[in-house]
Amino acid sequence: TSEHHLATHDSGTDAQAQIAAIYRWYTDRFAYLLGKLDSYAEADGTLLDHTMVVWGSEIGEGTTHRIDRIPFVVAGGSRAGITGGKYLEIPGTMNHRLLVSMLHFMGFRDRMSFGTLDQGMGPLPGLVA
């Protein structure tokens, strides 16, 4: 087995199997966290219902260092304005829109951009009510 970062640059079968195992482990940890948050009562729901949890990557594809098409999972927040249960693919949108959406979720609705590379404005359409 190789180091995690190096394996992301290797398109070989062994490296890809290693990466798949690593992400299965991350998936299990993410599911565990969501389960724990959902097990605590909070106001009119659970802690998960009032919390936005984001899991993703800093890069879209390790072998090429692409920074577009970065997959993210947004969970929770159903009692706090997150409209879930759907898959959003927004072509031409960088992860900055998700960061702006997160700011809006936390009450910073005056922020419409994030960072110096952000070319767009506003949150992701359809994520935060």
Question: Quick one: pLDDT at residue 2?
Answer: 64
Q: Is 95 exposed, middle or buried (0-12, 13-18, 19+ CB in 10 A)?
A: buried
3 state DSSP class of 44 = coil
pTM comes to 0.83
How far apart (Å, rounded) are the C-alpha atoms in residues 23 and 111? 32
Tokens 């299965």 correspond to 24
Question: Quick one: pLDDT at residue 1?
Answer: 52
Average per-residue pLDDT for the chain = 86
Biggest CA pair distance of the chain? 49
Neighbours of 44 (CB within 10 A): 8
Tens digit of pLDDT for each residue in 72-120? 899 999 998 888 888 888 777 778 888 999 999 999 999 999 888 778 8
Closest CA to 27 of 39, 16, 35, 15: 35
Question: Quick one: pLDDT at residue 77?
Answer: 93
Q: What is the DSSP letter of 125?
A: T
Q: What are phi and psi of 90, to 5 degrees?
A: -120, 95
Q: Is 54 exposed, middle or buried (0-12, 13-18, 19+ CB in 10 A)?
A: middle
Report the DSSP pairing between strands 45-46 and 41-42: antiparallel
